[in-house]
Amino acid sequence: MTEFRTVGKSEIKIDVKAKVTGRAVYAADINLPGTLHAKIVRCYEHAHAKVKSLDLSEAAKIPGVVKVFAPEDLTTKFYNQSVIDIMVSEDMRGMLGDIEDQKILTDHVKHYGDGIAAIVATTEEAAERAAERIKVEYEPLPVYLNATESSQDGAVQFTPQKPRNMAFELPEPAFPNNTLGWGDADEGFKEADIIVEDNFYTSKQKQAQMEPNSYIALYDDDGLLSCWTSTQMPKSVQPKIAKLFNLPMSRVRIIQTVVGGGFGARLGMVLEPHICALAMALPGHPIKVQSPREEDWLTSPSRHPGDYWMKMGFKKDGTPVACDAKFVNYKGGYYLDGSGVAFTTGGWVSGLYKFGALRYKGESYFTNQPVCGAYRGYGNPQTNFVLEQLVDRACHELKIDPVEWRKKWHKDVGDDGWCAGVPYASCALDEVLDEGAKAIDWKAKREKYAQQTGVKRRGVGVAVMVHTSGAMPMLLEHTVCTVRLNEDATAVVAFACSDMGQGSHTTLRQIAAETLGFPLEDVSLSVGDSNDAGYDIGAHASRTLYVGGGAVMAACKDALKQLLERAATMLEANPDDLEIEDKQIFVKGSPDRKVAASEICSGGVYPFLNPQTGAPDTIPGQILGYSSFNPMHNSPPFGACFVELEVDTETGEIKLIEMVNGHDIGRAINPAVVEGQLEGGAQQGLGMALTEELYFSTDGKVLNNTFTDYKMLGPSDMPKITNVIIENPDPHGPFGAKSVGEAGLVAPVGATANAIYNAIGIQITDLPITPEKILKALNEKHAA
C-alpha cells in the first residue's frame, strides 16, 4: 500500500478546540455596532387561512419599534427557498414548471407558523412586545394534513401552477408513464412464487441541529448587501438573494458563520430572504434576527413524510422477479425541492437490488404542514424502512438467510447505479456484510433467538443501503479551488465548501497537504466569505469530501506542477524526474541536485532585478494553483447495519443492545471523522425508527415543536456501536475515497425494524415504532 503522510490519519478536527471552549463565533454571537433586531410575526391560530385584515398601528407605537412591515411593505416577488432551481439543467427546470411559490410575508397562511408580518426594533424585547399588539383577522380555510385530503376535488389550491395540489410527479418526458425503473413489472410478477406487499407510513423527522436560526444583514452605504448566515450553501444563496432583490452578484456578499449543524435544514435559505429584505428597507443598519428554537421546526425544511406502498415478487430460490412501488409524500405548504425526494426515493430502490423489473412512482402533494426538503439521506431512510422490511418478510417466507440473500442480489461493480447510466465502479458490500455479520455474531444469534420463550425477546436484524457521493448526473456538481503558495512555501487553500461539523475542512486540508507533499500545519484554509472563493454548489448529497476533495487535489496538483516546472528549470532537469520530500525538490536518484520549495516560492514573490543583467535573478510570479472541478462519477458507497435489541412483550418497550455499522468508504481520509459520521448518523437513524416525529392536532397545529416532546435519543439510549470500515479504493474518488456524510443514518432504520421483526415476528409499518404500536400489535396477534 502507498505510504501517506496525513491521509488515513485521525487528525484532530480543526474546529474542535473553538467549539469545546465556546469560542467559536456563531451568527448569534455577532453584534455589529448599531444593530437593530427583527421579529417575524407568525400565524399560530391557523394552519390554513387568508389574512383578511392586518392592523399594525398599535405595534408601531411600542417604544423602541423602528418600523413595522406588512407583506406589501417588502418585496412581494415569489421565490423558492431551496436551491433546486440552480442545480438542474435548463431542460430539467422546464419540466419542473413554475416552482416559485413563497413570499417573504404572506396573506395566505399555508402552515402553522407561516410569517405574516415583521417588526424591527432597537431591542429584541421591544420587537417581541410589539408583535403581541398586532391585530389580525383571518378567514379560516380547510386544513389538509395528507395528500389524500389536499388532492381531493374542490380542495383549495395552494398555487395556481400546480393543479390538484400535486406539486410534482416524475415528469413524462424523462420518465415514461411517470415511472422510473426497467422491464415489465406486471410480467415479472407472473413468474413470482411469492408476493410480499404492504402500505407504510414514514414520519416527519426534523434535523434538530444544535444551532437555532440566527441571521444578520446589512445594506451598507456602498450599496453592498452583506448577510451573515450559517447556510450550508453560501455560493448558492448568493445568486438567489441577488435575483430576489434585483442586485448584481457583485453587490451581494454572503459571510458564512460557523455552522452549528445542518443535516439539510440549512440547504438553501431559511430566513436569509427575510433578513435581507429588512436590511434593504433600512439601509445602513445591521439587522439581526434570532429565531427561537421552536420556530426551527416550523421554518426550516424537515424530512418528507408520506405513504409508501411497495410490492415485490420472488421465486422460491429468492430471485427477485419484480418490484412495484409508489411513494406519495406530504410536501408541506411550499414546493422547495419538491422534485428531489420524490425522485431519489425511487433511485435508492433502483440502485440496491437486481430486480427482474422495477416500476416506481413518486409524487409530492402540498399539505398544510411546515415545509419539507433535504434531511440527511434524502429519501433513502424512507426506502430503507420499506424495502428492507419487505425483503426480510420474503426471506422469512422463503427460509433464506437475510444476509445471504442480500449478498446474492445486491447490485455490484458494472451494474447501473441509483441513476441509470452511471454504473458502479466499486463495491465492497460483500465484505462489509461478512465483517459486520462476524462482529455481531449473526448466525449464532439468529439461531439462538429463534428458540426464545419468555417476556423479553431478543432480535437481531440487518439492512443494507447504497448512497451517493455528490449528485451528478442529476444535479450540478462543481467546486472551484485555488491554492496560493506563500513565499515560505506554505499554502493557503481557498474554497467555499462548508464544514457543518462533519469535519470536511479538516479532511480537505489533509487532501491538500498530502497532494502538495507539505506538512499539515503548512496548509491553511481561506473559507467563509463568498467573495473570497470561487464557486461551490454547497454541502449536500454527501459531496464535500468527494467533489471538494477532487477540486482541492486538482488545484494542488496544478500548484505542484508549477513548482516542479520552476525547479526543473533551476536544476536543469526534466519535471517528470523530480520528487518532493520535506519541501525539498530533488532529482530522483541524485539527492544532491536539489532546491528548496521555499527558495522557489520566495523567488517568485521577490523577483529582484539583477543590476548587472537587468533581468530578475529568480523566476517571477507567486504560484497560484487553480481548479474548476466537475466529477466524472458519483462513486456510491454501500453500507450494512446490524442491530440487536430486546423487546419487552408486556410493555412494548425496546432496549437497544448493540449495533454494528459497516461502511464501504473507499478510503478513510480521516478514520475518526468517518466513525463520527457513522455514529452521528446512527443516532438519527435510530431516532427516526423509534421516537422522532412531528405531529399535529386535527386543525394542523404542530403539537411538539419543543425538545420536551420531540424526542431524540440521548447518550444513555444509544446501544454499544462498532463501526466496520472497509477500505477498497474507488477509481474516481480523491485517494479512492467515497462518501459517508449521509450514509450512516440510512440502514439503521431498516435494521432496527428487522431486529424487531426477528424478536417478535411482527413488522410495524408506521414510523416511529413506539411501544404503544408494538403492544397493540402484540395484543392483536395474541387475539388472532
Partner 1 sequence: MSTRILTEFELLTPNTIPEALSILNEFRDNVIPIAGGTDVLVAMKFGFSTEYAMSISAIPDLDYLSFDPNKGLRIGANATISQILDSKAVKQHYPALWQSAKIFATPQIRNSATLIGNLLRASPAGDCSCAVYALGGSIVLVSQQGEREVDIDDLWISYQNTERRSDELAIELRIPAPEPAGRSAFKRLTRVNEDLAKLNVAVNLVMDGDKCTHARLAMGCVAPTPLRLRATEKLLIGQTLDGSVLKRVMASVKEEINPIDDQRSTAEYRKSVSGVFLRRAIEQACDIS
Binding site for partner 1 (CB under 8 A): 42, 44, 124-125, 128-129, 290, 292-295, 650-653, 691, 703-704, 706, 708-709, 711-714, 716-717, 770-772, 775-776, 779
CB of 39 to partner 1, least distance (A): 9
Distance in Å from the first CA to the final CA of the chain: 60
Q: Read off the amino acid at residue 60.
A: A
Residue 217: name the closest of 269, 294, 262 by CA. Answer: 269
Q: Which is nearer to partner 1, 725 or 753 (CB)?
A: 753
Angle (nearest 5°) at CA 362 between 469 and 109: 100
Whole-number Å distance between alpha carbons of 83 and 523: 32
Q: Which is nearer to partner 1, 529 or 646 (CB)?
A: 646
Cis amide leading into 473 (omega within 30): yes
CA distances in angstroms from 280 to 220, 244, 506, 545, 549, listed in the order given? 9, 12, 36, 36, 37
Q: Which is nearer to partner 1, 110 or 732 (CB)?
A: 110
CB of 440 to partner 1, least distance (A): 23
> Helices 380-398 and 402-409, interaxial angle, to 10°?
120
CA distances in angstroms from 717 to 144, 205, 318, 434, 749, listed in the order given? 35, 18, 36, 27, 16
CB of 594 to partner 1, least distance (A): 59
Sign of the dihedral defined by the CA atoms of residues 225, 229, 231, 234, in that order: positive
CA distances in angstroms from 193 to 312, 319, 589, listed in the order given? 11, 10, 68
CB of 279 to partner 1, least distance (A): 20
> What three-state secondary structure class fits 95?
helix
Whole-number Å distance between alpha carbons of 601 and 615: 18
Q: Which is nearer to partner 1, 232 or 770 (CB)?
A: 770
CB of 691 to partner 1, least distance (A): 6
Residues 6+ apart with CB under 8 A from 430: 407
Angle (nearest 5°) at CA 141 between 137 and 147: 145
Q: Which is nearer to partner 1, 44 or 606 (CB)?
A: 44
CB of 717 to partner 1, least distance (A): 5
What single-letter DSSP state applies at residue 544?
Answer: I
CA distances in angstroms from 412 to 314, 353, 383, 660, 750, listed in the order given? 20, 9, 19, 22, 21
Cell of 483: 491554492
CA distances in angstroms from 622 to 379, 414, 598, 609, listed in the order given? 47, 44, 12, 16
CB 66 within 8 A of CB 312: no
Q: Read off the amino acid at residue 68.
A: V
| Backbone angle region of 716, left / alpha / beta, with phi > 0 → left and psi within -120 to 50 → alpha | alpha
CB of 713 to partner 1, least distance (A): 6
Residues 6+ apart with CB under 8 A from 612: none
CB of 251 to partner 1, least distance (A): 32
CB of 380 to partner 1, least distance (A): 24
Residue 497: name the closest of 554, 557, 561, 550 by CA. Answer: 550
Q: Which is nearer to partner 1, 117 or 180 (CB)?
A: 117
Q: Which is nearer to partner 1, 125 or 187 (CB)?
A: 125
CB of 125 to partner 1, least distance (A): 5
Q: Which is nearer to partner 1, 294 or 487 (CB)?
A: 294
Q: Which is nearer to partner 1, 290 or 584 (CB)?
A: 290
Residue 352: name the closest of 311, 395, 304, 320 by CA. Answer: 320
CB of 280 to partner 1, least distance (A): 24
Whole-number Å distance between alpha carbons of 576 and 564: 8
Q: Which is nearer to partner 1, 136 or 571 (CB)?
A: 136
Q: Which is nearer to partner 1, 295 or 392 (CB)?
A: 295
Residue 489: name the closest of 604, 656, 626 by CA. Answer: 604
CB of 769 to partner 1, least distance (A): 12
CB of 50 to partner 1, least distance (A): 21
Whole-number Å distance between alpha carbons of 713 and 731: 37
Q: Which is nearer to partner 1, 106 or 770 (CB)?
A: 770
CB 477 within 8 A of CB 630: yes
> What three-state secondary structure class fits 625?
strand
CB of 681 to partner 1, least distance (A): 18
Q: Which is nearer to partner 1, 129 or 583 (CB)?
A: 129
CB of 106 to partner 1, least distance (A): 18
CB of 774 to partner 1, least distance (A): 10
Q: Which is nearer to partner 1, 541 or 756 (CB)?
A: 756
CB 270 within 8 A of CB 213: yes
Q: Which is nearer to partner 1, 35 or 178 (CB)?
A: 35
Residues 6+ apart with CB under 8 A from 331: 167, 168, 304, 338, 364, 365, 366, 367, 371, 372
Q: Which is nearer to partner 1, 451 or 708 (CB)?
A: 708
